[in-house]
């Protein structure tokens, strides 16, 4: 990563509503960034560390922060790639759009209603 790239990240992180990194043995293997209380702009986990609960831990930290410090937030949205939809569903997010093209990639808009709910108790549960 170049200095220029690192410098470009400083302001968005410093100004974000919530930002966190997951470290393992001194290496960052996951990150989450909410520039606004109602938007997850990024949530990434290193491919070598998928399916270990890292993404869920990052979201849980963000959700807990929002529910504790900004309780008026009732919905958090994100754009999910096709490969991430199942993981986000497991974290309590629900698709609110059909897949669409965004900047050359396919995305599905998803939302989580706070306080967080599981799939069984979501807005369309029977």
Third-level CATH fold of 3-121: Aminopeptidase (3.40.630)
Please, which pLDDT band fits residue 126 given cuts at 50, 70 and 90?
very low
Specify whether the CB–CB gap between 107 and 122 falls below 8 A.
no
Tens-digit pLDDT profile for residues 89-109:
999 999 999 999 988 999 999
Q: Count Cβ neighbours within 10 Å for each residue of 47-65 and write b for 16 or more, e otherwise.
A: eeeeeeebbbebbeebbee
Domain range list for the chain:
3-121
This prediction's pTM: 0.83
Specify whether the CB–CB gap between 103 and 121 falls below 8 A.
no
Cα(103)–Cα(62) distance, integer angstroms: 26
Tens-digit pLDDT profile for residues 26-77:
999 999 999 999 999 999 999 999 999 999 999 999 999 999 999 999 999 9
């Amino acid at each position: 990563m170049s200095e220029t790239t690192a410098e470009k990240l400083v302001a968005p992180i410093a100004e974000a509503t919530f930002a966190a990194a997951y470290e393992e043995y001194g290496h960052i293997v996951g990150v989450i960034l909410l520039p606004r209380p109602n938007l997850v702009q990024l949530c990434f986990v290193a491919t070598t560390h998928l399916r270990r609960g890292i993404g869920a831990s990052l979201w849980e930290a963000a959700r807990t922060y929002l529910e504790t410090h900004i309780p008026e937030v009732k919905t958090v949205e994100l754009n999910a790639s096709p490969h991430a939809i199942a993981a986000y569903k497991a974290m309590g997010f629900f698709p609110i759009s059909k897949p669409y093209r965004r900047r050359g990639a396919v995305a599905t808009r998803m939302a989580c209603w706070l306080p967080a709910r599981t799939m069984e108790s979501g807005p369309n549960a029977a």
